[in-house]
Amino acid sequence: MYRYDEFDATIVQERVQQFRGQVARRVAGELTEDQFRPLRLKNGLYLQLHAYMLRIAVPYGLLSSKQMRKLAYIARRYDRGFGHFTTRQNIQFNWPQLPDVPDILQHLADVEMHAIQTSGNCIRNVTSDQFAGVAADEIEDPRIWAEIVRQWSTFHPEFSYLPRKFKIAVTGAPDDRAAIRVHDIGIRIVKNEAGEVGFEVWVGGGLGRTPIVGVVCRKFLPKEHLLSYLEAILRVYNLLGRRDNIYKARIKILVQATGGDKFAAMVEEEWEKIKNGPLHLPQAEVERIHRYFAPPAYETLPDMDPAFETAKLENPEFARWARTNLVKHKVRGYAIVNVSLKPDGGAPGDASADQMDLLADLADEFSLNEVRVTHHQNIVFPNVRKRDVYALWQRLRPAKLATSNLGFISDIIACPGLDYCNLANARSIPVAQRLSRHFSDPRKLDDIGELRLNISGCINACGHHHVGHIGILGVDKQGQEFYQVTVGGSSKDDASLGKIVGAAFSEDDIVPAIDTIINIYLANRAGKGERFLDYVRRVGVDPFKEALYGPATARRPAAE
């Protein structure tokens, strides 16, 4: 993985000192809370319902075992022994004290980490495919470009006071695991007809109050021009994005209002003027960063490992986990191992300090000292020899880290919701916990098959409910927590936004409602091969409406 050189280290260290000064000025009353807010937000520090929340960047989801151990240390010393992994591959701590934050940042800087631009109206932490560099279907490794974008966007003097937050995702595989179509900018590594590798650039996607699937801004961008092209998009947005209404300020609104083609033409015009300027990427820099991501020295192994096969035959529980949680590695004899942070009845994405320490130890022992955080709020061991998988599972299991539900209905994405967040209208975590307990029978999960269920506690959509195959949105009805349900969303290469099935359900009715939806699907699908998402796309929302609210004729208009 990328290691800081003296310059990276200097910049992060200077940021710690700068923030220490800003906190001191706030504590001394030299800064008002209004003046301090944008400064702390640019460093991922939010004021939540009960306390400050610190969001730490995990650039494109990559963590060394040493960094993971440091997160465990921070969880123990400055939090209540937990951390929460987020949909942007970051980690949040919910209970730090303001005067401690500079010290936490120093601890992070010591292991080449930071909280820079994890919040605020600036370019946020760059996200990517959690299987980058090890996926069998990859064209090229996206991490090199994610790192180049990370550096360019860090303390960008021109783009630190944008109309609104700005999220960039990069993927190197045709199977889009980074949800690039619902990002402000999505970068796909592609090969053109001439066989050259470059980027397809998407723009104007996003969730939140106005969910929109992005549009292609440029079909093929030569690699050397990545930064100048991004700078052109950001400059157009910075000058023309709306600043009169926070809910209309994202780039997606500008792209929709301008029209995708016209927006692309404006970017092109700007880019023509700067593409051969100082942002032109020197090959030496690309190669320098590339070297950090050189494949490790893999052993030459047979693709089938007898011990692994025997363990599966002898232990059905292990066999099931291996079937659901392993992904094909690009190197023979290796596997990508997914660790679910969604145990039955657990809070999605939460990990205890002890679990983090264990994950770090297991990474050292089994996965070349590295783990990944996924935007589904799970953890990945990217490089495990098949022969070690059984031993790894045996160590994960007692720590409640061996739930075999990856990609199933209980692998729920959820925001922190009203338990922590002062924007939320409703709680997300208890609903996720009840659903995961309700759908905990492995046979039931297998029967339902692939299903993405996402929960957001409010319209800001941090839980990505619009792109869940089933989405649940917390709403407020006269002071009561209610839950609106959508079906048919996807964040993958077939990205789509879910459709609302009808009136929202009370806290007591939401789990039975989801159960009804599942039963309708199971009873009416065209065989097991038709996934829930395929079924919804074939039949629409009507069968669900009818089952949930009664026949259309009997329904009062208010039920819509």
Partner 1 sequence: MALLQHGALQPNNWRFVGDDAAIPAEEPVTVSLKRWQAEGETLRGRNTPIGVRLKNDEQALALGEDVHRLSLIEVEFPKFTDGRAFSQARILRDKLGYQGELRGIGNILRDQYLYMTRCGIDSVELPEGKPIDGYLAALKEFSAWYQPASDGRVTVLELRHPAKASTRRSGATFISESVAAHSA
Q: By CB under 8 A, name the binding residues for partner 1.
A: 5, 7-8, 10-11, 14-15, 17-18, 21-22, 35, 38-39, 121, 151-152, 154-162, 235, 238-239, 243, 273-274, 276-280, 282, 284-285, 288
Q: Do residues 43 and 26 make contact, with C-beta atoms less than 8 angstroms apart? A: no
- How many angstroms separate the CA atoms of 61 and 65, rounded? 13
Residue type, 464: H
Q: Write down the residue that tokens 């022992």 correspond to.
A: 365
Between 232 and 363, whose beta carbon lies closer to partner 1? 232
Between 273 and 332, whose beta carbon lies closer to partner 1? 273
* Beta strand extents in 279-328 (DSSP E only): 326-328
Between 250 and 438, whose beta carbon lies closer to partner 1? 250
Q: Which alpha helices (DSSP H) does 397-455 contain, by range?
A: 429-438, 442-448
Between 164 and 218, whose beta carbon lies closer to partner 1? 164
Identify any residues that bridge with 371 across adjacent strands, giving them in sequence order: 63
Length of the chain: 560
Min separation Cβ 23 and partner 1, Å: 13
Min separation Cβ 278 and partner 1, Å: 4
**Tokens found for residue 557:** 């208009």
Helix axes 226-240, 260-274, angle to 10 degrees: 120
Q: Do residues 289 and 2 make contact, with C-beta atoms less than 8 angstroms apart? A: yes
Between 5 and 196, whose beta carbon lies closer to partner 1? 5
- How many angstroms separate the CA atoms of 549 and 560, rounded? 9
Min separation Cβ 451 and partner 1, Å: 41
Min separation Cβ 170 and partner 1, Å: 17
CA torsion through residues 328, 329, 330, 331, sign: negative
Between 285 and 441, whose beta carbon lies closer to partner 1? 285
Residue type, 475: V
Between 18 and 48, whose beta carbon lies closer to partner 1? 18
**Tokens found for residue 272:** 């023509």
Q: Which alpha helices (DSSP H) does 367-462 contain, by range?
A: 386-396, 429-438, 442-448
- Collapsed DSSP state (helix, strand, coil) of residue 354: helix
Min separation Cβ 284 and partner 1, Å: 5
Min separation Cβ 285 and partner 1, Å: 6
Terminal-to-terminal C-alpha distance of the chain: 51
Min separation Cβ 91 and partner 1, Å: 24
Helix axes 65-78, 353-366, angle to 10 degrees: 170
Q: Do residues 173 and 129 make contact, with C-beta atoms less than 8 angstroms apart? A: yes
Min separation Cβ 70 and partner 1, Å: 23
Min separation Cβ 244 and partner 1, Å: 11
Min separation Cβ 236 and partner 1, Å: 9
Between 147 and 481, whose beta carbon lies closer to partner 1? 147
DSSP state of 54: E
Q: Write down the residue that tokens 């319902």 correspond to.
A: 49
Where on the phi/psi map is residue 558: left (φ > 0), alpha (ψ -120 to 50), or beta?
Answer: alpha
- How many angstroms separate the CA atoms of 364 and 63, rounded? 12
Between 18 and 516, whose beta carbon lies closer to partner 1? 18
Which residues are CB-contacts of 98 (< 8 A; sequence separation ≥ 6)? 23, 26, 27, 45, 52
Min separation Cβ 37 and partner 1, Å: 10
Between 155 and 549, whose beta carbon lies closer to partner 1? 155
Between 18 and 352, whose beta carbon lies closer to partner 1? 18
